[in-house]
Chains A and B, each alone.
Chain A
């Protein structure tokens, strides 16, 4: 899809020929994220959908105790230190960002009075600044007013490297200044198409200046408020035991009318995913459980208990297979898979194409992941069932055989294809995890039929996913021919996500394998395209650029996407909780309620 076609579609939405939702689905099908699609419309003058509120309670409180299970409980409650989603989810009970992302990719104001836009000039035409208007009358839990000073302080706090905040990337390259008590201006040093990183979504929560001002930089760990959060959120802090329990009570002065519904909340940690699912779906002891990494078969069985159901929220996480472009079997200067070497057999496009044809994604979805892994052809997206006909993935052993035959790979006496004395034998590694081993088996079987020999290897997850420089079995080392894991997309905008195919990001010994380009794919075309996208202000052109980026990755078989991994939560039958694949699990916690 090119720029012109995109513009045509957008016009379609403008004139009403096409629905907003239809447009978002089309974008998603070609590899854009839902939030990016809705932003496209916003830029083009189609107002963001005002998601109509389905919140029913007519007064604050009265809902009793809300019991939720996070089988890995939050270990810290300062959003700037929140390493994983569990910590972000826990912090979100007490702290709030300026705006968040709903499941359809719309930005919704929380502490902001409105979303910056072109019409009222809060979004600069040159893309170098954005003004956020803050909601007035918001109070911290201790009664102090929330103002622009707090927002500016969060920037100062997070950008200081000595604070060691995990949010530093969002804040280090921007300047935040106070315009008046209730508005702040963010300035970028270059035109920035995606301006909603700072103060928005998962990492955008805002902490109070008056309690943290004395604890910036190296003293950040000593702040007493780290353990006793004081925020603006729907619940006020009651108790915290790292890894075990986060408890909150209703905030009687919450800034949204009639919210929250529950008088108290208890977030319990510990245990495992299956028993957490059981506690919600089968016994109904809990109202909600997070991150159901459980085989769909078991979930379906537990759902028969009738006490709850699973809620699937599409996001950007994707289980994919990487094809090494470098030679993992020759050591050069103490480093295998060294940048600049060439893989002896995988460098042949025919072999790569054949492998793409040999991954039976439909079976992987059907027999292994079920609802929790959806077969996909794209790398950057969350395709849903209805657009599967647009996807171009194919499982075809005969075609793979034919391709290899044509390229000169002849079957030897052992049934394994070879050419110039090089056999098609690959080592395929992944982490130890039952669904992954089953997927490996499915791929191995298909490859066997095409004369490719696959040796499967499984590495303990704690080793595979570690950044241990000395251990050759980690995924960034990639000392095998093929490997498979889920890469997580933590932001709604694909720019950062797609840097994992840029030449300069290659993981090497020199950068201690911290580069994000694990396959070490080098492509001038991709790099140029990516750089163009970084500075492209016209959102339509930019969208076209990212669609092309996705196409390049897929067309060159840099990786083979297997299944998209949506978020899965177990929700009790009475509880109404909206999920979003683009934000925290608790992004909308203030609107959760139980029906009578």
Chain B
């Protein structure tokens, strides 16, 4: 793969990101709702206040002008400020980022740790009892929506058994080991709900990837050489089978940043997802715009990474 190719791909990202930002901005500008609706409905606040705020925040300008303002500010690293809290958007996002990375990251990790061995074992022994059980559980896992499993876990572990807290608190006021214990206790349910949901679909991917590889001639060759089954699986099968899985996981990375809207809402995890939801409900356009745009950037970026990775993992794919 040539350096030229990488540079060309990087350059192509610019117009696509611009295009995405234009579409996002237009959609948000056309969406119904008004960040100052609450002000307008309050008789104690004269309409002039809402009007002067609109003027101050530039909401009365035409859409294209607002867009140009926004993109110019963005280029200077100024993300604007939230209408609802009058705080800079980047501060808001950075506040939420650690929690998001911790919870969603742990969930992704759990998904991979569970899905890889289960998927490989199921794939190497297709239609065995283990495969059947794993398959069934995987189907159940990704058929049940997170809002259902989340509530179920809360009912069982918080309400009935009273083992785990149902509200996630970002700043626990304990230190040392106690902090670790508390953190684990409150993370168990959201991480389980998210991790198992994602793990379930990942199991299916890994299994089918392994199934594709397992019957190939080179695997038979490796076996006939007398290498032990364990080595055949780890050195020969898994390595090849993982190529599509790696790209899939890479493409899922932006999700870690975006958070999980539903799960975060259920457990009150103060992540990016809940920030996005509350911003949408409050019609807080700058925050919605920033979060969605960063997400879009990450998707584009990880697409690029996946492409590069793919070429590197599988030299048969060539790029011109």
Q: A residues touching B (Cβ–Cβ < 8 Å)?
A: 65, 69, 72-73, 75-76, 81, 83-84, 161-162, 164-166, 168-170, 203, 218, 221, 226-227, 239, 241-245, 247, 264, 266, 268-272, 275, 278-279, 282-283, 285-286, 305, 460, 462-463, 465-468, 471, 488-491, 496-497, 499-500, 511, 514, 516
Contacts and interface: CB of A to CB of B under 8 A. Distances in A.
B282 to A, nearest CB: 7
B85 interface: yes
B35 to A, nearest CB: 9
29 contacts: A65-B173, A73-B278, A75-B84, A75-B85, A164-B49, A169-B45, A239-B171, A242-B84, A242-B85, A242-B92, A245-B169, A245-B170, A245-B270, A266-B169, A268-B169, A270-B268, A270-B269, A278-B154, A278-B159, A282-B159, A283-B159, A462-B32, A463-B33, A466-B34, A466-B37, A467-B41, A471-B32, A496-B44, A497-B43
A218 B57 CA distance: 11
B38 interface: yes
B266 interface: yes
Interface stretch (B6-14, B136-144, B160-168, B230-238): B160-168
Contacts of B44: 169-170, 203, 490-491, 496
A66 to B, nearest CB: 12
Contacts of A72: 278
A353 B194 CA distance: 56
B170 A241 contact: yes
A73 B81 CA distance: 18
A279 B166 contact: yes
A532 B273 CA distance: 53
Nearest to B274: A270
B40 interface: yes
B288 to A, nearest CB: 13
A244 B274 contact: yes
B202 to A, nearest CB: 28
A278 B268 CA distance: 13
Contact of B86 (A169, A221, A269): A221
A221 B81 CA distance: 10
Interface in B163-205: 165-167, 169-171, 173
Given A488-B41, A491-B44, A272 B265 contact: yes
A475 B48 CA distance: 19
A283 B46 contact: no
A271 B87 contact: no
A488 B45 CA distance: 12
Contact of A465 (B37, B56, B267): B37
A169 B46 contact: yes
Nearest to A242: B85
Contacts of A169: 44-46, 49
Contacts of B43: 488-491, 496-497, 499-500, 516
Interface in B46-93: 46-50, 52-53, 56, 81-82, 84-87, 92
Of A161, A270, A499, which is in contact with the most chain B CB atoms at under 10 Å from its CB? A270
Interface of B: 32-34, 36-50, 52-53, 56, 81-82, 84-87, 92, 95-96, 154, 158-159, 162, 165-167, 169-171, 173, 264-270, 274-275, 278, 281-283
Given A242-B84, A275-B166, 10 more contacts: A75-B85, A166-B39, A168-B45, A221-B86, A244-B170, A270-B265, A270-B269, A462-B281, A466-B37, A496-B43
Top-10 shortest CB links A-B: A244-B270, A467-B40, A75-B85, A242-B85, A514-B47, A270-B268, A466-B34, A271-B268, A75-B84, A490-B44
B265 A468 contact: no
B173 A264 contact: yes
Contact of B266 (A218, A271, A285, A516): A271
A247 B264 CA distance: 20
A247 B43 CA distance: 31
B169 to A, nearest CB: 7
B276 to A, nearest CB: 11
B33 to A, nearest CB: 5
Contacts of A75: 82, 84-85, 278, 282
B52 A161 contact: yes
B284 to A, nearest CB: 8
A279 B159 CA distance: 9
A244 B270 CA distance: 6
A270 to B, nearest CB: 4
A112 to B, nearest CB: 21
Given A76-B86, A270-B270, A467-B50, A490 B42 contact: yes
B278 A270 contact: yes
A219 to B, nearest CB: 12
A165 B162 CA distance: 45
Given A245-B270, A467-B34, A468-B34, A285 B171 contact: no
A524 to B, nearest CB: 22
A27 to B, nearest CB: 21
Contacts of A266: 169, 173
A69 B158 CA distance: 17
A76 B85 CA distance: 5
Contacts of A203: 44
A505 to B, nearest CB: 10
A144 B75 CA distance: 42
B166 A76 contact: no
Contacts of B52: 161-162, 164
A555 B41 CA distance: 25
Contacts of A166: 39, 42, 45, 49
B150 to A, nearest CB: 10
Contacts of A272: 265
Given A75-B282, A221-B86, A465 B41 contact: yes
B87 A168 contact: no
Contacts of A247: 171
A161 B48 contact: yes
A468 B274 contact: no
A81 B39 CA distance: 11
Nearest to B32: A463
A462 B165 contact: no
Nearest to A498: B43
Given A161-B52, A467-B36, A243 B274 contact: yes
B57 to A, nearest CB: 9
Contact of A468 (B32, B39, B170, B281): B32
Contacts of B84: 75-76, 83, 242-243
